Amino acid sequence: MTRTPSAEPTSSALTPSGCPAAVPLSGPGFHADPQSLYRSMRREHGPVVPVELPGGFPAWLVIGYREVHQVTSDPELFPRDVGLWNQWPHVPADWPLLPMVGQPLPSIYFSAGEEHRRHVRMVVPALEAADPFEIRGHGEQLADRLIDAFCARGTADLVAEFCEPLPVLVLARLVGFPDDEGADIARVLKDLADGGPGAQEAHQRFAGHMARLVAAKRAEPGEDVTSRMLAFPEEFTDEEYMLDLMAITAAGHLTTADWIGNSVRLMLTEGDFADSMARGRRSVADAMTEVLWEDGPTQILAGRWPVRDTRLGEHRIKAGDMLLLGLGAANTDPLIRQGAAGAGAAGQGGSGAHLAFSHGEYRCPFPAQEIAEIIARTGIEVLLDRLPDLELDVPVEELVRRPSAFLRGTTALPVRFSPVPTTGDLL
C-alpha cells in the first residue's frame, strides 16, 4: 500500500525500532564540518548509525563505503520506494523535510522496481542523445552572458550570479525551453530551494512551465530532450512527462551548481591547490574530482527502504525503516582511504569510484553525470579565462555553508577581480 503524510500534524518523537541513542541529524556541525561528525559517528556506532530526523523521526544513516555499496547494489531488498516508509502515518503534511524525502509519484525519481525501469527506458536515452559539443557550446555562451553582467564591476557573488543560474539555464535549453523561460525557471527553482511561503506557488509555476513545454513539443518537435522523450514508443501520460522533466531539472540544477561552487571555492581557498594549478600541475578537472570525493554536493541522500526485516552492519533493520545514504561520509571511509592520507582525491588516482552520484539501479544516470561534468567544467574554465585574477573578497572563515545536512554548498562566494570588458564590448 502506498502511504502518504498524515493530514494531522504530530510532534510525537517515535522510538526508533530498537535504536540505541539516536544522533540528531541537524545542527550547525553538519554545515560547518560534517567530516568530523562522521568521524565521531564512526567511532561510536560503526558504519550504520541510528539517527533522528527533525520532527523526531528515526532513520539509519549508512556511512560505511562498503555498506552504502551493499545497499545500493541490492535494489530488490533495498528499493528507492518511499511509499514503504513505516512512519508515514505520523508524518505531518507540512513536515519541512518532505521535499527532501519525497512522496510516491509516477516519475523517474519517485518510482521503484519495474515502474522505475519504464521511466529509465524513456528518459535516459533522451539525455544520452544530447550532443556533448552542443552542451559545451551552450555552457560557454551562457557562462559568458552571466559573466558579462558583472565583469565590469570588479566584484561579484559567484553563487548567486554564476554557479546557481548556469546549470539551470543550460538544462532549460537542453530540455527545449527558449532562453527567456529558462530565466524564469531559474527564479522558480531559487524560490523552491529557499522554501518559505513562495515555495508552493513556485512549485505550481514549475509544473506549469513543464506542462506547456510538453504541449509545445508535441505540436512542434525539435532537437531536445523533451521531443526525444515524446518520440519514445512506450506510452506515458502527460503528467508522467511533466514529472520526469521536473525531476531532470530539479535533480540536476543545485547539485551541478554546488559542484561548480565547491570546486571554485577549493581553488580560491586552498593555497596549495591554487599554487599547483598555477604551475600547471593540477587542473580544473582535478579540483572537480577532489570535490566529488571530499566535498560532494549530495552529502546525504534519502533514501532506501527495505522490503523486509534484515541486518545491516551490526543492526537489525525493520521493513520500511528509512535508510539514508551517507554518500559524503562513505567517500571518506578510512577503510577505503588507507594509504591515501593527505593525498585527497589524488589518493584515489582521480578514480571514479566515489559515490557522489550514488550507485546501482537508482544512481544518477551516466548521461546526466556527463552533462553535469560538461556544464561544470565549461563554466569554471570560462570563468578562469575571463577573470584570471579572481580572488576571495572575504576571509575564508566568513564563507557560510548551506544550512542542510543533506546538501553541501556555499550560500555566497564574494569575489573581486580586475574589471574587464563584456564580450559584447570585445566584438
Residue in 298, 299, 331, 410 binding ligand HEM, rule: CB under 6 A: 298
Does position 108 interact with ligand HEM (CB under 6 A)? The reply is yes
Kindly state the cell numbers that stand for 25.
Answer: 541529524
Cβ nearer to ligand HEM, comparing 247 with 415? 247
The H or E element spanning position 384 is helix 366-386
Does position 365 interact with ligand HEM (CB under 6 A)? The reply is yes
Cβ nearer to ligand HEM, comparing 186 with 301? 301
Residue in 65, 109, 177, 241 binding ligand HEM, rule: CB under 6 A: 109
Residue in 362, 383, 386, 410 binding ligand HEM, rule: CB under 6 A: 362
- The C-alpha cell 561528525 sits at 37
**Helix and strand totals (H; E) in the chain:** 18, 10
3-class state of residue 219 by DSSP:
helix
3-class state of residue 306 by DSSP:
coil
Site for ligand HEM in 29-68 (CB under 6 A): none
E strand spans, 292-348? 301-304, 310-312, 315-317, 323-325
Q: How far is the CB of 196 from ligand HEM (least distance, A)?
A: 25
β-bridge mates for residue 317, sequence order: 310
Cβ nearer to ligand HEM, comparing 139 with 365? 365
Q: How far is the CB of 13 from ligand HEM (least distance, A)?
A: 27
Residue in 183, 207, 364, 399 binding ligand HEM, rule: CB under 6 A: 364
Q: How far is the CB of 8 from ligand HEM (least distance, A)?
A: 30
Cβ nearer to ligand HEM, comparing 48 with 254? 254
Measured between alpha carbons, how far is 181 from 121 in angstroms, rounded to an integer?
A: 28
Does position 256 interact with ligand HEM (CB under 6 A)? The reply is yes
Cβ nearer to ligand HEM, comparing 90 with 209? 209
Exposure letters 368-399 (e unless 16+ CB within 10 A, then b): bbebbbbbbbbbbbbbeebbeebebbeeeeeb
3-class state of residue 280 by DSSP:
coil
Residue in 214, 301, 312, 324 binding ligand HEM, rule: CB under 6 A: 301
Q: Which stretch binds ligand HEM (CB under 6 A): 34-42, 146-154, 245-253, 402-410?
A: 245-253
Beta-carbon contacts of residue 34 (< 8 Å; ≥ 6 apart): 299, 328, 329, 405, 408
Dump the DSSP string for 17-29: TT-SSPEES-SHH
Residue in 48, 245, 356, 380 binding ligand HEM, rule: CB under 6 A: 356
Cβ nearer to ligand HEM, comparing 19 with 330? 330
Does position 357 interact with ligand HEM (CB under 6 A)? The reply is yes
Residue in 248, 268, 317, 345 binding ligand HEM, rule: CB under 6 A: 248
Does position 101 interact with ligand HEM (CB under 6 A)? The reply is no
The H or E element spanning position 52 is strand 48-53
Q: Are 154 and 421 in contact (CB under 8 A)?
A: no
Q: How far is the CB of 254 from ligand HEM (least distance, A)?
A: 9
Residue in 101, 127, 213, 336 binding ligand HEM, rule: CB under 6 A: 127
- The C-alpha cell 519525497 sits at 102
User: How many residues in the shown chain lie near ligand HEM by CB under 6 A?
Assistant: 26
E strand spans, 95-160? 155-157
3-class state of residue 286 by DSSP:
helix
Residue in 168, 324, 371, 415 binding ligand HEM, rule: CB under 6 A: 371
The H or E element spanning position 414 is strand 414-416
Measured between alpha carbons, how far is 341 from 382 in angstroms, rounded to an integer?
A: 32
Q: Which stretch binds ligand HEM (CB under 6 A): 44-52, 343-351, 356-364, 390-398?
A: 356-364
Q: How far is the CB of 108 from ligand HEM (least distance, A)?
A: 5
Does position 107 interact with ligand HEM (CB under 6 A)? The reply is no
Measured between alpha carbons, how far is 329 from 333 in angstroms, rounded to an integer?
A: 6
What letter would DSSP give residue 224?
S
Does position 259 interact with ligand HEM (CB under 6 A)? The reply is yes
Whether omega before 349 lies within 30 degrees of 0, making that bond cis, reads no
Q: How far is the CB of 117 from ligand HEM (least distance, A)?
A: 9
Kindly state the cell numbers that stand for 180.
Answer: 527567456
Cβ nearer to ligand HEM, comparing 175 with 268? 175
Contact residues for ligand HEM, defined by CB under 6 A: 72, 80, 108-109, 120, 127, 247-248, 251-252, 255-256, 259, 297-298, 301, 356-358, 362-365, 368, 371-372
